Amino acid sequence: MRKKRLNPKKRTSRSKARKQVSRLRRFLSALTVSAVATFSIVSYALNPQLRDQFSLDLILSRLDLPRQEQAAPRVVDSGARVQTRFVDCPQFFPDGKPPLIPPGPALRELCFSSFAILHSGKTKTPVFVAQRLNRQILTRTRSVQRTDRFYTEARLPSSERAELADYRGSGYSRGHMAPAGDMHNPEAMAQSFSLANMVPQNQTHNAGAWNRIENDTRKYVMRAKGDVYVFTGPVYASGPKTIGPGRVAVPTHLYKLVYDATTGRAWAHWQANSADTRPGPPLSYEEFARRTGLRLLSSYR
């Protein structure tokens, strides 16, 4: 049986109707976002409690606002090694000197209130996350409640970031690089759940051997006389496994580099991202730099 062909005039009429419906949906979506944004910003301005607990940047980042206005700065590829800048948060690096790194595509610098991230749009995970810790900071973490509200990082272009859907049903944890247990106020705690601070991590490893490394690092900081700088990040094999529609890369190993600014000592924990990982002896800074190509400490270059 032959199908009846639509009259060209009717086909054009239907096409116009679909376009009008699409434009109406986009208008209503933009109107809703604008209304929510306006309400949130006014509430923030008039409510002192909100100002004490959250920054305006954080509130804006949780809304689906235009990405271009909040885009994180790119790292410019300038040769065999690239000097990162982190002009808005140099306090997370020893002597205020950000690291030298191998060049790579889609590298962006993200500053948060308690840590800094160099993010890779290729893997959609951090290259490293930098923290400055001391006894005073960690003492304040005891009164901060964990939030567990993961969110997409709005400052990253959609093509370079992980989404919540990427981790859903993947079998991997959203593994913090700057741990929630290090966060000393509600704003820092909320920011630590940005997906820019996560890697796909084996669940047993995350809760076991890696958790012990995090706890041991906090114990060291509590004994240290001054600031301790901590760099945490993933390591990938060539052609890594990925998860989710966005193809977020799964690391083979994780590292945590610890530098005591008072004593000048530095060491790195290096662990496979697997369930059977057991804690082992730390690496020297030189061996860590050889394996990763990262020059994270200016005093060792």
Active-site residue, from 119, 176, 184, 269: 176
List the structure tokens of 126.
């951090």
Phi and psi torsions of 46, nearest 5°:
-90, -15
Indicate the burial class of 163 (C-beta count within 10 angstroms; 0-12, 13-18, 19 or more). middle
Tell me whether residue 176 is one of the annotated catalytic residues: yes
Catalytic site residues? 176
